[in-house]
Structure 1
Amino acid sequence: MSVKFAKEETPSIPVYIVEAGGFDDWSASQPASVTAWLKANGFAAALGEVCLVPDKTGMPEMAVVGYGKPAARARGRFHLAKAAAALPAGTYHIQSGLEGAALEEAALGWLLSGYQFTRYRQQKPNKLRLKVPEGIDAARVEAIAAGEVLTRDLINTPASDMGPQELEDAFLALAAEHGAKTQVVMGDDLLTQNLPMIHAVGRASDRAPRLLDMRWGDAGPTLTLVGKGVCFDTGGLNIKPGSSMGLMKKDMGGAATVMGLAHMIMTLGLKLRLRVLVPAVENAINGSAFRPQDILTSRKRLTVEVNNTDAEGRLVLADALALADEDVPDCLISMATLTGAARVAVGPDLAPYYTDDDSMAAILADSGAAVADPLWRMPFWDPYESMIEPGIADLDNAPAGGFAGSITAALFLRRFVDQTPRYAHFDIYGWQPNAAPARPKGGVGQGARAILESLPKVLDL
């Protein structure tokens, strides 16, 4: 679906966004008829409150939206998107009340509030349009919205229609759209190309595992994005219970998110050299499935004891990270729906991330706050390194005990990155469990907008 602003020449209804504390002053500046109408409707500028003011013919003359108090706004985001849901179909423009980052967030939220996943069911078309607010970069906001839509569509598509081949098709289409170069290593060629753990995880499926590789840009600093592309995760021989398998179509959420981010970067023409790596597999079950206590030898020659075949994401990421690290990019970022432990720690709304670089961590935190894409830094806690060392092999893919599961997974991945100067890992959820402003229930991008915002400082663009 397209997420675009309305054309400038389209007639539109002004939207006035009014804080609770400034409502009296704003109301006093309006015609008496407007003030009387607002008073008659009990409008007090509470957060999300909406009042349509009619003209003499009864048609909407303006929409007044309450922006509440700072304490109320701090408990959520995309508040204008929530208010917009109460407006009738039509085209609107923001007349006053917001500026800067708050205005950009409002515009983006409005665009994303129109998202619909229509592949399997027709829905009523969204007829709520917004003109470009004065003072924002429309092309940037539209690019971000389009990247988010790509991510959502990929995650929302069930594994029956989003296996490794279909993910490859989407990957190649994205590359073709932006003139990027691609390479795909598939099936047994993964062994000859020294990507053995990607092969091991995906070999039991009748849909061949593969590594997707995209390169774009010919000048500037280098950025590599690695996204977990497990198109469905049964848990392998350590099969998941039904209650845990129900959302596993979203286990390629890391891949979907880096692809959405790549779309933003390439659409905006950032002056950098981008590489995107996606190990695309299905963790299935048959006689060739990898087994508990198998020992795998990774691309990096580190050996891994498999103590749970349901901890497969870190295995496919490890080979992809080792490959990425050989290029020594200026910055390397991995994104994955990796652990339930991360959800227990921070819930579904926060994207936890790991990095040893305090400067990069601060930039990411500030960027997430600036663009309403909340992040939370987690520690690469060195004292837990011994937990991922089983003794019989170099590494354990699933330490016993269950403590610090997200941290030990991140530590595992860090073992495969030892040359790149800046590395960050995001353990995202990729799913909106309950509808929220600008985020319907279903697949959702996390961390991409924060990363995009951080790149000028991280890479000195």
Structure 2
Amino acid sequence: MTLPSAYTHDTTAALPLHLIGKSDHAEWLAAQPAHVQAWLASHRFDGSSGSAHTWADANGQLAGAVLGIEDALDPYAYAHAPRALPAGIWHAVTPLDPAARNALQLGWGLGCYRFDRYKASTRTTPQLALPGFDSETLDILAACLRVRDLVNTPTEHMGPDELEAIARTVATAHAACITVIAGEDLLTHNYPTIHAVGRASHRAPRLIELRWGDAAHPHIVLCGKGVCFDTGGLDLKAAAGMRNMKKDMGGAAHALALAELVMARKLPLRITLLIAAVENAVGPNAFRPGDIITTRQNVSVEIDNTDAEGRLVLCDALTRACELNPALLLDFATLTGAARIALGPDLPALYANDDALANAWLNAGMQTRDPLWRMPLWRPYLRYLTSGIADLANASNSSMAGSVTAALYLERFVSEGTRWAHLDVYAWNDSDRPGRPAGGEALGLRAAFAMLQAHCL
């Protein structure tokens, strides 16, 4: 097992790292040498969450450190350590049960992350030494960082072609099968909405389909919105709204990373990954407000707004997913700003047509400290998507219930009897926080994996 640079097996030169909460702070401090007690008292260290302090020995050499930890099972409780501690090797001397040790391992890796493709880091980050590293936790970390890297990469280097290339690399690594339908072939194979959204770009739109697993195992389909850049189309976004639209393929990044994680852990599942990869560009053949597109499901859709494009590419992908009769269908999409207004950047909005499925994902989120929040599929709001000349409108002139109506639109393309959940995910950190650097972020991914893992076992 190859370790990331954040970790090392070598504990011989490691400095002691204490992990202390407020409740055990006084007892722990009383057991420390007098100079450590005095030093920490002068800094008013009380075990508060997110705090960190080092101390020296009698010769002025770095001798140890302590972190304030509130929730020992929350990876982010430890994620401040790599930025707060000096370079060197650190070994946790506080006894930890396996779950807490895995949380420390994951949080440390998340805290060490920096996107350095274009700008090298000038800081040497400290290493965590453990006598043994949990391989599953390393795979989960790799999945989270896969999402971050994909979302952080500018569209110049992460368009539909590049997204396909990465999916092919993942397929090769895990002996999966992959097919891609691109360009005008989308019309031949009846994926009209994916084609319509992406046809104005010089980069051909495509549907990427990856298949892996034993046919005897339960079949799970993962769908991802892969809008590699979203100008808004002819309903052009303002500059501020367009600035970070390289992240509009965050749903595809989540779906791809989750599929890769399932394959890496060899869960007893059969996986189909569907990514609708497009660039919503402006051009002479861009789709227009007022156009009517007949979808793969033979539902006619009036285009109310070309900036409501994610649901268009997903509706053909969801139709394809349901044709495969899966036991479970999950989709991920950076779908609406309304979800962010309702829940903020850290809580993805979860919609599901099955209470047991929703509760399983929510409970997994609580257990993994990767929370989600369920929102209602309030079907009376379908009135906001009424069209006078088509079966459905893709958006509404009303500002009401934007996230709910987007989910209702998607539900229209989910076959009756198919267990389905949709995650409206921001996939982004607006500012730097410990373990959460500004830029791409994986949200709900660890919870989704835990849910699938529990389903298997």
Report the equivalent of 2:17.
15
User: Residue 292 of structure 2 aligns with which residue?
Assistant: 295
Q: 1:333 Cα deviation (Å)? A: 0.5
Equivalent of residue 319 in structure 1, options 294, 311, 316: 316
Equivalent residue runs for 1:156-175 within 5 Å: 156-175=152-171
Give 2:108's aligned amino acid: W
1:133 to 1:398, Cα distance in 2 relative to 1, 3 A = farther
1:340 paired residue number: 337
Q: AA paired with 1:352?
A: A
- How big is the shift at 1:54? 2.8
Give 2:172's aligned residue.
176
Change in 2 beyond 3 A, CA 1:420/1:438? farther
Amino acid corresponding to residue 284 of structure 1 in structure 2 = A
- Which amino acid counterpart does residue 433 of structure 1 have in structure 2? D
Rounded to whole Å, the distance in 2 between the matches of 1:39 and 1:182 is: 60
**Cα 1:28–1:298 shift into 2, 3 Å:** same
**What is the deviation of 1:321?**
0.5
In 2, distance between residues paired with 1:51 and 1:237?
A: 54
Aligned to 2:53: 51
TM-score by length of 1: 0.93
Of the three residues 426, 429, 433, the one matched with 2:423 is 426
Q: Structure 1 residues 81, 161: CA separation in 2 closer, same or farther (over 3 Å shift)?
A: same
Task: Return the offset for 1:21.
Answer: 2.1
Q: Which residue of 1 aligns with 2:254?
A: 257
Letter aligned with residue 217 of structure 1: G
Q: What's the offset of the Cα at 1:61? A: 2.9
Per-residue deviation, residues 2-27 of structure 1 (Å, max 9, x unmatched): 46531245531221111112112122
Maintained 8 Å contact 1:101/1:370: no
CA contact (8 A) 2:6 2:108 kept: no
Aligned mate of 2:125, from 124, 127, 132: 127
For 2:11 and 2:37, the matched residues in 1 are separated by 29
Code of the residue aligned with 1:356 in structure 2: it is: N
- CA distance in 1 between counterparts of 2:332 and 2:66 reads 40
Per the alignment, residue 301 of structure 2 pairs with 304
Alpha-carbon separation, structure 2, partners of 1:379 and 1:434? 29
1:329 maps to amino acid: P
One-letter code aligned to 2:76: F
How does the TM-score come out when normalised to structure 2? 0.94
Match of 1:80 among 78, 85, 88: 78
Could you tell me how far 1:436 is from its partner in structure 2?
1.2
User: Structure 1 233/58 Cα, relative in aligned 2: closer, same or farther at 3 Å?
Assistant: same
Aligned equivalents of 1:254 and 1:10: distance in 2?
A: 43
Relative to 1, partners in 2 of residues 1:243 and 1:6: Cα closer, same or farther, differing over 3 Å?
same
Which whole-Å CA distance do the structure 1 matches of 2:417 and 2:179 have between them?
Answer: 22
Q: What secondary structure does 2:86 align onto?
A: coil
Residue 211 and residue 194 in structure 1: after superposition, are their counterparts in 2 closer, same or farther (change >3 A)? Answer: same
Matched ranges for 1:57-456 at <5 A: 57-67=59-69, 78-96=76-94, 98-124=96-122, 126-132=124-130, 138-218=134-214, 219-419=216-416, 421-456=418-453
Unaligned runs of 5+ in 2: none
- Whole-angstrom distance in 2 between the partners of 1:357 and 1:413: 15
Q: Percent identity?
A: 46
Aligned residues: 454
More displaced 10-residue stretch of structure 1: 207-216 or 123-132: 123-132
Whether the aligned pair in 2 keeps the contact of 1:3 and 1:114 (CA below 8 Å) is no
In the TM superposition, what whole-angstrom CA distance separates every residue of 1:220-254 from its partner, at most 9, and x where no partner exists? 21111100000111111111111111111111010
Q: Which runs of 5+ in 1 are unaligned?
A: none
CA displacement, residues 181-224 of structure 1 (integer Å, 9 cap, x when unaligned): 10000101101111111011111111110001101111421111
Q: 1:448 to 1:10 in 2, by over 3 A?
A: farther
Instruction: Tell me the distance in 2 between the aligned counterparts of 1:133 and 1:350.
Output: 35
C-alpha distance in 2, partners of 1:2/1:140? Answer: 14
CA distance in 2, matches of 1:126, 1:297: 55
CA RMSD for the aligned pairs?
Answer: 2.1
